[in-house]
Amino acid sequence: MTKPIKFVIVFLIFAASGLFLWSQLAIKPLSTDLTLIGQGKPALVLAYENFAPSGIEAMERINRVRADYEEDIKFLVADMGTPQGQVFTEQHELLDGMVIFLSAEGQPISIGTVPGSENELRRRLDRDLGRTGI
């Protein structure tokens, strides 16, 4: 392989990597402050173990719809690698990748997994928010 071709391949790899990293910077991380639960706004809490793929995949699906619901819902993470997250997930019997939707007062409304499709996730959030006609 000639040097110009190698250069182009290396350049394309770096460019693609840079674009990927740039796209990830635009995503605001989910808060791990579980004291926000019950403070007057419903909350969706994701049980998350940083080395397990189900939590990572669930977070990606949540991030795809989050911007459309942030005015109505607090999106939080119960990091199972921290004492606070561990206590919360044990109290609600959550496994990595599961979510719990809590009322504005902090009462559980629904517990389950994050739906695989964006549309189903939106339907579930709308249902838990009590939005009619959806």
- 115 CB-contact burial (10 Å; exposed 0-12 / middle 13-18 / buried 19+): middle
Strand order in the sheet with 98-102: 74-79, 43-48, 98-102, 108-113
Mean pLDDT, residues 115-134 taken together: 85
Which residues are CB-contacts of 125 (< 8 A; sequence separation ≥ 6)? 44, 65, 69, 73, 101
For residue 132, give the amino acid letter. Answer: T
Q: Report the pLDDT averaged over residues 97-104.
A: 93
Q: By the 8 A CB rule, do 97 and 57 touch?
A: yes
Please give the share of the chain, as a percent, with pLDDT higher than 90: 54
Tell the residue number behind the tokens 């559980």, with chain if given.
Answer: 108
Residue 12's Cβ-side half-sphere holds a number of Cα atoms within 13 Å equal to: 6
User: What's the fold here for domain 29-129?
Assistant: Glutaredoxin (3.40.30)
For residue 21, pLDDT over 50 is answered with: no
Pairwise CA distance, residues 24 & 5, whole Å: 29
Cβ proximity of 34 and 64 under 8 Å: no
So what's the pLDDT on residue 75? Answer: 95
Tell me what the pLDDT averaged over the chain comes to. 84
Most confident of 14-18, 112-116, 129-133: 112-116
Banded pLDDT at 116 (limits 50, 70, 90) = confident
Instruction: Name the phi and psi angles at 105, rounded to 5.
Output: -90, -5
- More confident position, 7 or 113: 113
What is the tens place of the pLDDT at every residue in 42-78? 999 999 887 777 788 888 899 999 999 999 999 999 9
Q: What DSSP designation does 73 have? A: -
